[in-house]
Amino acid sequence: MTEQAPLAELSFEQARNELQQVIVRLEQGSPSLEESLGLWERGEALARHCEEWLVGAKRRLDAARASTDAPAAEDS
């Protein structure tokens, strides 16, 4: 496999695109078991990274929704 960027440096879109490439390579069949295992492990890590991005985005949306749904404080 080529040089891999550290997961922490990847945006959601970059991780998703790399994961798609990993899946294509796995579906095509790898020349060796070792390469297949490496692709699988990278794919698992990319999938976790994407999930973390999605969970974080959902939290932010939920927080934004909660702040707009909260009753405004009245000045007395």
Q: What is the pLDDT of residues 6-64, one digit of tens each?
A: 999 999 999 999 999 999 999 998 789 999 999 999 999 999 999 999 999 999 999 99
Q: Which pLDDT value is given to residue 72? A: 58
CB 30 within 8 A of CB 39: yes
Say which residue the tokens 């939920």 belong to. 62
Q: Which band of pLDDT confidence, cut at 50, 70 and 90, is reported for residue 68?
A: confident
Query: Distance (Å, rounded) from C-alpha 42 to C-alpha 37?
Result: 9
- Is the CA virtual torsion 6, 43, 38, 32 positive or negative? negative
pTM of the model: 0.79
Q: What integer pLDDT is reported at residue 74 of this predicted model?
A: 53
Residue 76: pLDDT band (50, 70, 90) is very low
